Amino acid sequence: MSPTPSTHSTSSTSPSSPLHLAVALDGTGWHPASWREPVARPRDLFTAGYWADLVAEAERGLLDFVTIEDGLGLQSSRYGEPDGRTDQVRGRLDAVLIASRVAPLTRHIGLVPTVVTTHTEPFHLSKAIATLDYVSTGRAGLRVQVTARPFEADHFGRRVIPPFEDYDRPAVTELFEEAADYVEVVRRLWDSWEDDAEIRDVATGRFVDRAKLHYIDFEGAYFSVKGPSITPRPPQGQPLVTALAHQSAPYRLVGRQADVGYVTPHDTGQARAIVAEIRAEQERAGRAGQPLHVFGDLVVFLDDERSAAEDRRDRLDALAGEPYTSDALVFAGTASQLADLLQEFAEAGLSGFRLRPAVAGHDLPAVTRALVPELQRRGAFRTAYRADTLRGNLGLDRPANRYAAA
Amino acid sequence: MSKPLKQIHLAAHFPGVNNTTVWSDPEAGSHIEFSSFAHFARTAERAKFDFLFLAEGLRLREQGGEIYDLDVVGRPDTFTVLAALAAVTERLGLTGTINSTFNEPYEVARQFASLDHLSDGRAAWNVVTSWDAFTGENFRRGGFLPQEHRYSRAKEFLATVTELVDSWHGDEILADQATGAFLRDAKAGSFVHTGQHFDIHGQFNVPRSPQGRPVIFQAGDSDEGREFAAAGADAIFSRYATLDGGREFYADVKNRLAKYGRRKDQLLILPAASFVLADTDAEAEDLAKQVRRQQVSGATALKHLEFVWNRDLSGYDPEGPLPDIDPDLGESHIARGRAQVRMYRDPLATAREWRELAAARGWSIRDLVIETGNRQNFVGSPETVARTINEYVQADASDGFILVPHITPTGLDAFADQVVPLLQEQGVFRADYEGTTLRDHLGLAHPDSAGQDQRAAS
């Protein structure tokens, strides 16, 4: 794979660069007591209308994309095992299907479902995301996730995963290496059809030019896949690949395979250090010249007064029985204060943010109706969608096909 | 007193990867763009059809060691298209073929349960099996499955998916904001399955969906396949769309139901059927001939003959006589990834029969393939087609048909506009949807009530 020179390098971001914004959708919001808020609609969680409304709200705010959380087990407050709790949202729908269900109802916003690489097939996933790109006419992506949860492995019975301790154990590192191979397979399958493979040549009776269909012949430590894809190359060529990363193994995955990495710095010093580490991994992977966005993840409580946001957070913490903690920084304050913080982080090298609304029904509209106008006033956010595709809105070119003869 | 008229069930199969689809027709559109699927689905819903049907492919077909390039090649992912179609339709059932060999029950169960939620109860699964290493080369599992295990795995797969979706009973979610009780029961979705093919346990994470379970279709034709369907399917996607062949199959399968404690109306027989419409019967016959010639080019005819001969026949003239040489009786190698190859179990006999037939009628290779290949099932004016379909259904050749047009995506339009109103006038097809779920359209009981019947009976 040769590095593609790009005019959209994001490795340096000046304070005046427009920010990119995404929101992470998960149930009724990221705070475990969020479902108890009057705006939360917990009984609608398993309906299409609920998700269509949230994504429409995000599109109203001109956001780049939404991510949709997923998992192959029941949610748990403990990482490695079910917690047996009945006081929090449990159960969820398949994120790829939610994204696809919403796609025909929206026009501009990117749709980035979470996909678990540990127990699924890259061939199925590749055609699913390619198809999401077709049904959304160029707005599809995916968020790669590994799972080291033993109880989720038990749902598949194919492999035994020992109890989880920390990310840097070899068993977990292997899951990330497998994920990198998985994404490599997915990306090769997207390229396995050249863009003009379908010829419909009535004179010779040939529907496709088989010279433009390619076996990917992937052989790796975890699986092998022959190809080509069953689905023609999707509208974006390569839909957006994203991943959340907190430690070295996932930073390597982002450096090797992602278009957008989500990271969780708690101050600008950390942000600088993380960006430097990801850039080093990117360079090691031979992708130094390629665009790679690093987005900061933040949980947000947004209100007109900081005290109101803090009070709301405290009230939800009291309902949950414990203070909410997260891998990401938990912000409680006003849109203007959040805009200040985002601009500070941007100076440290982040090119955008994925905001996790603490209460989807409250904090998502606060993002679209207060934060976005505030950033627009500062000239730091778009006032209209600029492109037809998700890659286009992120300033990413449509990649050349790796198999096409130059 | 005469028997009351049966109500006809109609569904639409999106035309795809086979030589039924005439891609060279100027009217033929994209088989990939979502707008094609949306047009097709909206037409089917406008016609009040029960459901739309999508086939599946997991490896591009090959012949003579090369990717087959004469038919439509490529298709989108089944689940993803069906979920998107749920957004542009309101009542139409959404049926997808999903392979039970190269998937895992937990994942398929949550995909179908999710689709059923996102479509308000319109999801159906056509369960198919595969065992070949050729397809397996695209999957982690590879080609591990011996052919004799394919039904045992399929049966256990279906049983496991059913256990998973039944693991939520429907009353677990309280979501009581005042008291803070989201779940009634911390064990919601608990399951344990131990069997020959799957050994899994834990908690399923999709709550019970509107239909409880997806509607189950089955497509196999062997004795084992028929038993599998009689034991647990809601509908059979069959290939017997002729009057006599259909009646025989229908009687055979319906008679198998009693031993599983099931009534004859609990399993619908729905053959795939093609059609050609024109203003008059004579015009339709002419059009049908043209369509058959478009479907079977000279090159396509030779490739079709290779399924039987199991040899490269590219040197033969498709407008000339059949090959003198006999088929290669070694292991089938020339065509891979095609279901049709298995239809010719005695290649020597088939070759002899075809040669005699062609010699007697003066047919070329291409004529032979056209004349012995899949004929259009219903050819004629709208009146003729409506009358014939009704006759077949009333004669118990089927409970209805899954129509496969030969043009993408507009091939259903004329049927919807011209044939459906005639069936409605005759009182054998609904004027509007009476229910909201696919089970409602098919007249199938909700599994929860059926389950209560069973529990009461046992």
Read off φ and ψ for residue A381, nearest 5 degrees: -150, 150
Centre a 10 Å sphere on the Cβ of residue B361 and count the other Cβ atoms it contains.
Answer: 10
Contact between B202 and A152 using a beta-carbon 8 Å cutoff: yes
Centre a 10 Å sphere on the Cβ of residue A391 and count the other Cβ atoms it contains.
Answer: 26
Centre a 10 Å sphere on the Cβ of residue A7 and count the other Cβ atoms it contains.
Answer: 7
- Is there a domain that residue B365 lies in? yes
C-alpha gyration radius of chain B: 23
Enter the tokens of residue B435.
């229910």
* Under 8 Å between Cβ of A126 and B138: no
Task: Please give the pLDDT value at position B457.
Answer: 37
Cα B10–Cα B13–Cα B19 angle in degrees, nearest 5:
135
Residue of chain B whose alpha carbon sits nearest to that of A149: B202
Q: Residue B428 carries which side chain, given as an amino acid letter?
A: V
Task: Please give the pLDDT value at position A397.
Answer: 96
- Is there a domain that residue A229 lies in? no
Task: Please give the pLDDT value at position B220.
Answer: 74
- Does any CB of chain B come closer than 8 Å to the CB of residue A223? yes
- Is there a domain that residue A207 lies in? no
The closest alpha carbon to B168, from B123, B218, B114, belongs to: B114
Q: Tell me, yes or no, whether B121 and B21 share the same domain.
A: yes
ipTM at complex level: 0.96
Averaged pLDDT, groups of 10, chain A, 406 residues long: 39 62 98 97 97 98 98 92 94 98 98 98 98 98 95 92 70 91 98 98 96 98 96 98 93 95 97 96 93 98 98 97 96 98 97 98 98 98 96 97 88
Centre a 10 Å sphere on the Cβ of residue B25 and count the other Cβ atoms it contains.
Answer: 17
> What domain range includes position B345?
283-372
Q: Tell me, yes or no, whether B137 and B79 share the same domain.
A: yes
Contact between A102 and B184 using a beta-carbon 8 Å cutoff: no
How does pLDDT run across B44-91, given as a tens digit for each residue?
999 999 999 999 999 999 999 999 999 999 999 999 999 999 999 999
d(CA B83, CA A104): 10
Predicted confidence band of residue B1 (pLDDT cuts 50, 70, 90) = low
Q: Tell me, yes or no, whether B114 and B210 share the same domain.
A: yes
d(CA A20, CA A291): 14
Q: Tell me, yes or no, whether B70 and B137 share the same domain.
A: yes
Centre a 10 Å sphere on the Cβ of residue B144 and count the other Cβ atoms it contains.
Answer: 12
Q: Tell me, yes or no, whether B128 and B256 share the same domain.
A: yes
Q: Tell me, yes or no, whether B398 and B320 share the same domain.
A: no
Task: Please give the pLDDT value at position B454.
Answer: 42
What is the CATH number for B140? Answer: 3.20.20.30
Contact between B79 and A71 using a beta-carbon 8 Å cutoff: no
> What domain range includes position A304?
20-162+240-394
Instruction: Collect all residues of chain A within an 8 Å Cβ-Cβ radius of residue B114.
Output: 93-94, 97-98
Instruction: Collect all residues of chain A within an 8 Å Cβ-Cβ radius of residue B25.
Output: none
Domain boundary residue among B350, B372, B394?
Answer: B372
Task: Please give the pLDDT value at position B225.
Answer: 86
- Is there a domain that residue A185 lies in? no
Give the three-state DSSP class for B124: strand
Task: Please give the pLDDT value at position A2.
Answer: 38
Q: Residue A305 carries which side chain, given as an amino acid letter?
A: E
How many separate domains does chain A show?
1
Task: Please give the pLDDT value at position B221.
Answer: 82
Read off φ and ψ for residue A209, nearest 5 degrees: -95, 105
What is the CATH number for A63? Answer: 3.20.20.30
Q: Is the pLDDT of residue B452 over 60?
A: no
- Is there a domain that residue B425 lies in? yes
Strand B190-194, strand B181-183: pairing: unpaired
Q: Tell me, yes or no, whether B290 and B269 share the same domain.
A: no
- Is there a domain that residue B180 lies in? no
Give residues with Cβ within 8 angstroms of A267, minimum separation 6: none
Residues of chain A numbered 330-389 and touching chain B (CB < 8 Å): none
Task: Please give the pLDDT value at position B97.
Answer: 96
Give the three-state DSSP class for B235: strand
* Under 8 Å between Cβ of B291 and B22: yes
Task: Please give the pLDDT value at position A8.
Answer: 41
Q: How high is the mean pLDDT of chain B?
A: 93
- Is there a domain that residue B406 lies in? yes
- Is there a domain that residue B38 lies in? yes
Domain boundary residue among B372, B397, B426?
Answer: B372
Chosen from A89, A126, A208, A217 to mutate, greatest number of chain B CBs within 10 A = A208
Contact between B137 and A124 using a beta-carbon 8 Å cutoff: no
Taking the CA of residue A334 and the nearest CA in chain B, the distance in Å comes to 26
d(CA A132, CA A97): 9
- Is there a domain that residue B309 lies in? yes
When CB atoms are compared, the residue of B60, B80, B114 closest to A131 is B80
Q: Tell me, yes or no, whether B364 and B422 share the same domain.
A: no
Domain boundary residue among B372, B392, B408?
Answer: B372
When CB atoms are compared, the residue of B75, B114, B118 closest to A231 is B75
Q: Tell me, yes or no, whether B311 and B272 share the same domain.
A: no
- Is there a domain that residue A52 lies in? yes
- Is there a domain that residue B84 lies in? yes
- Is there a domain that residue B190 lies in? no
Q: Is the pLDDT of residue B455 over 50?
A: no
Contact between B74 and A134 using a beta-carbon 8 Å cutoff: no
Task: Please give the pLDDT value at position A10.
Answer: 43
How does pLDDT run across A317-359, given as a tens digit for each residue?
999 999 999 999 999 999 999 999 999 999 999 999 999 999 9
How does pLDDT run across B95-148, given as a tens digit for each residue?
999 999 899 999 999 999 999 999 999 999 999 887 788 999 999 977 767 777
Contact between B74 and A198 using a beta-carbon 8 Å cutoff: yes
d(CA A250, CA A262): 10
Instruction: Collect all residues of chain B within an 8 Å Cβ-Cβ radius of residue A89.
Output: 182
- Is there a domain that residue A212 lies in? no
Contact between B205 and A121 using a beta-carbon 8 Å cutoff: no
How many separate domains does chain B show?
2
Instruction: Confirm or deny that B222 is annotated as ligand binding.
Output: yes
Q: Tell me, yes or no, whether B247 and B330 share the same domain.
A: no
How does pLDDT run across B396-421, given as a tens digit for each residue?
999 999 999 999 999 999 999 999 99
Enter the tokens of residue B372.
């012995």
Q: Taking phi first (over 0 means left), then psi (-120 to 50 degrees means alpha), and beta for anything else, what does residue B362 get?
A: left
Chosen from B22, B73, B160, B206 to mutate, greatest number of chain A CBs within 10 A = B73
Contact between B198 and A206 using a beta-carbon 8 Å cutoff: no
The closest alpha carbon to B267, from B256, B278, B275, belongs to: B256
* Under 8 Å between Cβ of A157 and B199: yes
Q: What is each CA distance from B373 to B241, B282, B377, in whole angstroms?
A: 14, 21, 12
